[in-house]
């Protein structure tokens, strides 16, 4: 007979022991310094965000119209969060248990739910707290524009965002506890997002996530339908906890190993390793059969070998990666649309989205970097070979920029979009391809070598490694600021002239790439 109570007691005792060991290792000055830095960054962000808001306050009638239209958009955002949860759950997430926890605790004669419950509650609590914090920020900022009580706005937004955070996490747990495979999970995610899109287009409240979003607008108008969203969260949390222990141990062990490596790579700022591990975590493998097979050339060909090899790589991209690249292009387009409407910092989001998409476009370059022995075996300068790979990456980024242009049409007139797209597509696509190639080709930092420069210099070098590549893409988008905000008097010449600087920057980046050489571990 298995004495479950005694083993659970042992589990709790040892968790207490581990907690006290960890606390003994915490240096309180370091911890306080971290809290101070987070608070400082938070305050700066609030100040920056509030500075971007127009000073006009909406009238009561305008606020009511806003409360009727905006929940659909917020509901769409929540649907995206739940979609991410579904995707994670379909791949064994969202919980990341340590490998020894999987090996010793999940294999012990103790109910698995007892092992997993603690981490699950911790994650729900964290996401509820993070959601509440973001909600409070949104509530405080919106109360400056809306004729509402600031306390009510903060409370309702906090509640809505906290519930959304819990819902996303609980959905993932419910899915992994029921061992739903990735494809139906992704299908449900797409359906939910599609439902919310229909709500946005039709300006209706039919999706439960739109109903959940309605809570944030209660200070303007209380609608009982918001309670449906609350009920949904409670239901999903209950569903998640009823089958918590049925998670796949195989998935748990795989995630444990990969996430440990991922954290280490993040600590080292080794972006390429982070990308690779993230792909393994989401089981994103190249297709066994390419979308289109490029056959062997039958006779002498003038097609550059790197160009052909690159397209062979792209044609093996799995569907999720292609969808992600298109999605990032769309995010960039929407951000640029928001920028056109007056929120200038949105250009940074657009730049980062294109930079991330370019990371996938730089995959063939990354393959050279990952295999230094092969890379240096070619009878060609290593840097020059990387430059050859840039051509295909540039073309891929032009395609991504097409998605950006189409998405921008949602917020910007057609006349403006096409003129600016033509003026900027070459420098932006080029800069994005160059920036991702720079980041990929610099490889993992040589920490031992940098340490010799002293901690101050090392800190700056490490910072530059992370900041400079995406900054190149952001800078390439800055000429858009010179276009003006009047669709009838668009300053395309000014944009074109300014884009020369972006091309110059991309050229400098190419020079840097030319100097790259294989690194051996």
Partner 1 sequence: MTSPFALPKQPPTPATEPRLDPKAALQTLDLSKDYGDGMGLVSELDIKIGHGELIMLVGPNGAGKSTFLGLASGMLEPTNGWAFIGGNPAGTIEARAALSYLPDSPVLYDDLSLGEHVEYVARLHHTQDWEEYADDLIDMFGLTDRIDDLPSRFSRGLKQKTGLILGLIRPFRVMLVDEPFVGLDTPGQETLVEILSDVVEQGATVVCSTHQLDLVPAATRCIGLQDGALVYDGKVTAEKIRELVGGD
181 lies in the site for partner 1, by CB under 8 A: yes
The token pair at 509 is 């980046």
69 lies in the site for partner 1, by CB under 8 A: no
Closest CA to 476 of 451, 437, 442, 506: 506
Please select the residue that binds partner 1; options are 68, 145, 248, 261, rule is CB under 8 A: 248
105 lies in the site for partner 1, by CB under 8 A: yes
114 lies in the site for partner 1, by CB under 8 A: no
Please select the residue that binds partner 1; options are 73, 150, 179, 370, rule is CB under 8 A: 179
Closest CA to 465 of 474, 476, 457, 453: 457
Residues 6+ away with beta carbon under 8 Å from 87: 182, 185, 186, 189, 282
Binding mask 227-246 for partner 1 (x = CB under 8 A): -------------------x
Cα separation, 159 vs 226, in Å, equals 11
478 lies in the site for partner 1, by CB under 8 A: no
| Nearest-10 Cα torsion for 170, 171, 177, 182 | -150
**How many beta carbons lie within 10 A of that of residue 521, not counting itself?**
5
Binding mask 392-411 for partner 1 (x = CB under 8 A): --------------------
Please select the residue that binds partner 1; options are 31, 36, 38, 100, rule is CB under 8 A: 100
> Do residues 491 and 360 touch, judged by C-beta distance below 8 A?
no
The token pair at 298 is 């039958």
Cα separation, 177 vs 377, in Å, equals 49
Segment near partner 1 (CB under 8 A), from 4-12, 292-300, 307-315, 462-470? 4-12
Residue 450 CB, shortest distance to partner 1, in Å, is: 24
Please select the residue that binds partner 1; options are 49, 66, 84, 98, rule is CB under 8 A: 98
419 lies in the site for partner 1, by CB under 8 A: no
Based on CB atoms, which residue is closest to partner 1, 28 or 183? 183
DSSP structural state of residue 303: S
Cα separation, 128 vs 121, in Å, equals 10
The half-sphere exposure of 177 on its side-chain side, counting CA atoms within 13 A, is 21
Alpha-carbon radius of gyration of the chain: 25
Please select the residue that binds partner 1; options are 59, 60, 65, 107, rule is CB under 8 A: 107
Cα separation, 264 vs 439, in Å, equals 18
> Do residues 199 and 205 touch, judged by C-beta distance below 8 A?
yes
**How many beta carbons lie within 10 A of that of residue 182, not counting itself?**
18
Please select the residue that binds partner 1; options are 76, 110, 352, 390, rule is CB under 8 A: 110
Residue 250 CB, shortest distance to partner 1, in Å, is: 5
Cα separation, 423 vs 66, in Å, equals 35
Residue 245 CB, shortest distance to partner 1, in Å, is: 10
Please select the residue that binds partner 1; options are 58, 70, 103, 399, rule is CB under 8 A: 103
10 lies in the site for partner 1, by CB under 8 A: yes
DSSP 221-273: ---TTHHHHHHHHHHHHHHHHHTGGG--HHHHHHHHHHHHHHHHHHHTT-HHH
Closest CA to 332 of 506, 483, 477, 440: 477
Please select the residue that binds partner 1; options are 99, 152, 462, 503, rule is CB under 8 A: 99
108 lies in the site for partner 1, by CB under 8 A: yes
Residue 258 CB, shortest distance to partner 1, in Å, is: 14
47 lies in the site for partner 1, by CB under 8 A: no
- Determine the size of the site formed for partner 1 (CB under 8 A): 39
User: How far lies 336's CA from each of 19, 268, 353, 395, 401, in Å?
Assistant: 46, 32, 11, 21, 12
Residue 142 CB, shortest distance to partner 1, in Å, is: 40
49 lies in the site for partner 1, by CB under 8 A: no
6 lies in the site for partner 1, by CB under 8 A: yes
Binding mask 360-399 for partner 1 (x = CB under 8 A): ----------------------------------------
Cα separation, 83 vs 357, in Å, equals 20
- The interface with partner 1 within residues 260-289 (CB under 8 A) comprises 285, 288
117 lies in the site for partner 1, by CB under 8 A: no
178 lies in the site for partner 1, by CB under 8 A: yes
Over the range 396-431, which residues count as b (16 or more CB within 10 Å of their CB) and which as e?
A: bbbebbbbbbebbeebbeeebbebbbebbbbbbbbb
Please select the residue that binds partner 1; options are 184, 202, 342, 413, rule is CB under 8 A: 184
Interacting residues toward partner 1 by CB under 8 A: 2-4, 6-7, 10-11, 13-14, 17-18, 21-22, 25, 98-100, 102-105, 107-111, 178-181, 183-184, 246, 248-250, 253, 285, 288
């Amino acid at each position: 007979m298995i004495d479950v109570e005694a083993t659970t007691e042992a589990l709790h005792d040892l968790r207490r022991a581990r907690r006290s060991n960890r606390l003994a290792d915490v240096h309180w000055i370091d911890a306080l310094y971290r809290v101070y830095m987070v608070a400082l960054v938070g305050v700066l962000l609030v100040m920056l965000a509030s500075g971007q808001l127009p000073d006009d306050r909406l009238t009561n009638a305008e606020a009511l119209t806003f409360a009727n239209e905006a929940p659909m958009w917020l509901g769409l955002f929540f649907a995206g969060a739940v979609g991410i949860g579904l995707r994670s759950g379909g791949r064994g997430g969202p919980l990341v248990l340590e490998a020894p926890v999987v090996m010793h605790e999940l294999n012990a004669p103790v109910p698995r739910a007892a092992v997993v419950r603690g981490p699950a509650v911790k994650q729900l609590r964290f996401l509820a707290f993070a959601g509440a914090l973001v909600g409070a920020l949104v509530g405080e900022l919106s109360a400056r524009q809306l004729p509402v009580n600031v306390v009510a706005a903060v409370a309702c937004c906090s509640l809505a965002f906290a519930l959304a955070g819990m819902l996303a996490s609980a959905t993932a747990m419910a899915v992994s506890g029921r061992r739903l495979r990735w494809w139906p999970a992704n299908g449900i995610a797409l359906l939910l997002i599609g439902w919310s899109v229909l709500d946005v287009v039709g300006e209706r409240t039919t999706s439960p996530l739109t109903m959940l979003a309605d809570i944030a607008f209660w200070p303007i108008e209380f609608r009982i339908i918001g309670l449906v969203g609350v009920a949904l969260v409670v239901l999903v949390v209950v569903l998640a906890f009823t089958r918590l222990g049925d998670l796949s141990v195989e998935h748990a062990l795989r995630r444990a190993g990969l996430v440990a490596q991922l954290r280490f790579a993040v600590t080292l700022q080794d972006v390429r390793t982070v990308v690779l591990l993230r792909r393994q975590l989401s089981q994103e493998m190249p297709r066994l059969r390419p979308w289109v097979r490029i056959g062997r050339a039958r006779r002498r060909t003038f097609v550059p070998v790197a160009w052909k090899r690159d397209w062979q790589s792209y044609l093996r991209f799995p569907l999720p990666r292609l969808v992600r690249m298109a999605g990032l292009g769309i995010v960039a387009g929407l951000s640029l649309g928001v920028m056109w409407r007056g929120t200038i910092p949105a250009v940074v989001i657009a730049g980062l989205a294109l930079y991330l998409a370019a990371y996938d476009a730089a995959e063939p370059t990354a393959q050279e970097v990952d295999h230094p022995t092969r890379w240096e075996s070619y009878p060609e300068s290593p840097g020059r070979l990387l430059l050859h790979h840039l051509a295909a990456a540039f073309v891929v980024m032009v395609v991504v920029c097409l998605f950006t242009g189409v998405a921008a049409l949602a917020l910007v007139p057609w006349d403006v979009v096409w003129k600016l797209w033509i003026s900027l597509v070459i420098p932006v696509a080029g800069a994005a391809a160059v920036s991702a190639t720079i980041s990929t080709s610099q490889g993992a930092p040589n920490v031992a070598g940098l340490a010799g420069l002293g901690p101050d210099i090392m800190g700056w070098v490490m910072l530059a490694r992370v900041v400079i590549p995406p900054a190149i893409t952001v800078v390439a988008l800055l000429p858009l600021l010179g276009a003006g905000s009047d669709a009838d008097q668009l300053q395309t010449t000014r944009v074109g002239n300014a884009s020369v600087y972006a091309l110059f920057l991309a050229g400098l980046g190419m020079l840097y790439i030319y100097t790259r050489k294989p690194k051996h571990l």
